[in-house]
Amino acid sequence: MADLRRTGLFDLHLELGGKMVPFAGWEMPVQYPMGVMGEHQHTRAHAGLFDVSHMGQVILRPPKGGTVADAARALEALVPVDVIGLGEGRQRYAMFTNEDGGILDDLMVANRGDHLFLVVNAARVGHDVAMMRGRLGEGVTVELISDRALLALQGPEAQAALERIVPEVAEMRFMDVAVLPVSGGDVWVSRSGYTGEDGFEISVPEDEAEGFARALLAMEEVAPIGLGARDSLRLEAGLCLYGSDIDETTSPVEAGLTWAIRKARRKGGARAGGFPGATRILGELEDGPARKRVGLAPEGRAPMRAGTEIFDGDEKVGEVTSGAFGPTLGAPMSMGYVAAGSAATGTRLTGEVRGKRLPVEVVDLPFVPANFKR
């Protein structure tokens, strides 16, 4: 643990009884005394506070004299999504792709009027920043933010808690972003998250982060939540984890992320193609991929975890990429990739667990319906 980085809330995690583990180069809390099951259920019923300060916060500024549309146009050369069409005060999911159509990282992009604000995965910060600095073109400034913490407040009571400190959040819709004043400096808020619940991600000046977190945790409905429950929550919500469910070998179409690729970037669109891997990605949009990410429901109570091989009869057709027990679902759940011919909802397959072939059924995602504020 000696070489791991620590967020500004490290001491607070210890005070709260957090069990610290290595994650993406950081020392992070995997759980607190409530335990993963309790933390998961608390977030679904009330509000959970997550330290996600390990994520990369990045600002893209347009060339001098330019507009945010110039920064968006430059970014569109690296992503298959419509950034130019993103309205001010709005956020969108995106992914960097490589020349083979694989996913280099997934990220959030927000239009903040005169610049773009990005949140990228912790393990990919160095890669993403270097790539953008090398490929976005002359004049676009890539600024890695190093003096702000990032918190996520998730759950059906998240708004009630946060609006006591930042009343303006009550007016925000899903995927809205805003810069809002609080004592000690502005907070950067998005109404989004990684749990399938309503909630917010809040960027706070680092020297104010502990006080901000304590103010939230003093509220009856808010509890600290670790990486363990974060993972089971996002899996129930059918959300991908970079490095597990998506990586440089998986295309956005295989991964079922086609909803993020809008008409403007597709064949016949106003700005079709022009991003890395466009030939493969646009081809798969037209003809379908050879394999698909699916939900998998094992029979019984035992999860089928990452690496479990999936069979259709005697033929291996895929592999599990994420698997756990779903506390809200009340049953085991897995996601993985299977051959397109075996991917229809209701298809009965088997997974090989400790040398035995056990039944598993292809099911729709998400496992638990989303509860976003529209």
Alpha helices for 226-294 (secondary structure H): 227-236, 278-287
Cβ atoms 119, 150 nearer than 8 A:
yes
Rounded to whole angstroms, how far apart are CA atoms 63 and 65? 6
Report which residue type is found at 341: G
State residue 202's pLDDT score.
98
In the chain, residues under CATH classification 3.30.1360.120 are 10-51+147-236
Question: CB neighbours of 243 closer than 8 A, spacing ≥ 6?
Answer: 121, 123
In CATH, the number for domain 290-374 is 2.40.30.110
Q: How far apart are CA 64 and CA 84, in angstroms?
A: 18
Helix (H) or strand (E) holding 332: strand 331-339
DSSP 209: H
Residue found by looking up tokens 């363990």 in the block: 228
Read off the DSSP letter of residue 202. Answer: E
Check the CA dihedral 96-229-329-352 and report its sign: positive
CATH number assigned to the domain with residue range 10-51+147-236, chosen from the 4 options 3.40.50.10680, 3.10.180.10, 3.30.1360.120, 3.40.50.300: 3.30.1360.120
Q: Which amino acid is at 271?
A: R
Q: Are 155 and 45 in contact (CB under 8 A)?
A: yes
> Distance (Å, rounded) from C-alpha 318 to C-alpha 305?
13
Domain with CATH 2.40.30.110 in the chain: 290-374
Q: What is the DSSP string of 89-110?
A: TBEEEEEEE-TTS-EEEEEEEE
Pair of tokens at residue 220 = 């009856």
- Phi/psi of residue 235, each to 5°? -70, -45
DSSP 8-class letter at 275 = S
- The closest alpha carbon to 91, from 115, 125, 118, 57, belongs to 118
CB-based contact 236:333 (threshold 8 Å):
yes
pTM: 0.97
State how far the Cα of 143 lies from the Cα of 118, in Å rounded to an integer: 10
Task: Indicate the pairing of strand 26-31 with strand 19-23.
Answer: antiparallel
The length of the chain in residues reads 374
| pLDDT mean values, one per 10 residues, the chain (374 residues) | 91 98 97 98 98 98 96 98 98 98 98 98 98 94 98 98 98 98 93 98 97 98 98 98 98 98 98 98 98 97 96 98 97 98 98 96 98 86
User: What does the pLDDT read at residue 340?
Assistant: 98
Is residue 184 left, alpha or beta, with left meaning phi > 0 and alpha meaning psi from -120 to 50?
Answer: left
pLDDT value at position 305? 98
Return the structure tokens found at 87: 């309205």
What is the model's pLDDT at position 185?
87
- The full DSSP string for 289-306 is -SEEEEEEEESSS----T
Helix, strand, coil percentages for the chain (3-state, nearest 5): 25, 35, 40
Helix 35-45 and helix 227-236: axis angle, to 10°? 50
Q: Residue 138's pLDDT is what? A: 85
